[in-house]
Structure 1
Amino acid sequence: MNRCQFVDDHHHRRHGVKRLCDILGLSRSSFYYWRRTAAAPAARQAVEAGLAARIRKVHQDSDGTYGAPRITAELRDEGGPVVNHKRVARIMRSIGLEGVRLRRGHRTTVADQAEPKTPDLIGRDFTAAAVNTKYVGDITYLPVSGTKPLYLATVIDLASRRPAGWAIADHMRTELVIDALAAAGRTRGSLAGAVMHTDHGSQDGFNRSSQRWLVGAIVAAR
């Protein structure tokens, strides 16, 4: 405790400010200056403590998974003073909190530079007026603890926004995609005439599937 704090804590008891300052060898002007300027840091500390308590609660409610950006968003949704993610990150470090860091994403699209690019038949219009007219497809990496990863291929109807077919395997070969398309064909009865839109992954049988011909051919061959 510094001398100014001691005077501030005890001058209202038995001794006045002058007497305590004389005993401690402190000028009264220094004491009064300290008291005028000490209120601001104390107020900031109180605000920081309150914000730290809110951060800790949001972190606990997320089961310890949220990092500074997500916690900042939650605090803004709650209302109250505006706070930025840098301040939240600083306070989290000071109280020993951190979010769960996701592993780096697994690349599932490897373009074949030698393969000619197929045309974009949907023209970047990811909507459909009727089901079984336009689909999108992709492969998702699924990490599995204790064993090799799996890959999920999906065929999603742009009208209903629901999967019409899907398949899972421990590889990304064309068979995985054919199985997903065949599953969609069984669900819809036929995919003939529909348009399939995907990326240009070389390992992905969806590579040419934005052509009506391929959709009909795969379903007819099931």
Structure 2
Amino acid sequence: MGHFQPGDLKMVYAFILSQELIFPVITMCHVLSVSRSCYYVFRNRGDVVEDRVATKIEAQVVDAFTLHKRRYGTRRLVPELLDQGLKIGRCKLRRILREKGLKAIQPKSFVPRTTDSRHPYPISPNLLKGKAFPVKINQVWVGDITYIPLKGGGWCFLAVWMDLFSRKVTGWQLLNHMKEGLIVEAFKKSWSNRNASIGLVVHSDRGGQ
């Protein structure tokens, strides 16, 4: 027994405890050079029982997590484990998963595409390429579409036209779809607000939407 430090002894006793159903205690204590009476004192202590319970809980958590192929986080594991008879809070569950190095796979959130290059329509030429920056308003308008997530789920789409010289929005339209009417209505508002003249250059993503 003199070969082991107190911390080492606890590990040895824990090993013997885990093997009790396989090997005789007296044999393991003799082979490992530890006192059998001291081992029984260790085994009958309350913290050993707590360790057993904790180990059982951890094993049940790991089993449930593995069963669902790492796709269940704490929110879904809590009711799952409750159905199995284990009442455990999300904080404790999160701690066990963290200590075991387990992390649920996060599903990729759906994000609508505002640009689609896979279409049969021709791509408009880039009229701004090689051109000087505009020197006054209503020479160049640039347009774009962005998506806005809704609180209850789903999306709405915002089409905006902006004067490239003044950097001010000339018109916009918000709809629950990204059809042709979205950008057209926004453009109509821009035209109405600015009364642009002939020669205006309109630049967007050149037919990608």
Same fold, judged at TM 0.5 (above): no
Shorter-chain TM band = 0.3 to 0.5
Give TM-score scaled by structure 1 length. Answer: 0.42
Q: Structure 2 length normalisation: TM-score?
A: 0.44
Q: Which structure has the greater CA radius of gyration?
A: 2
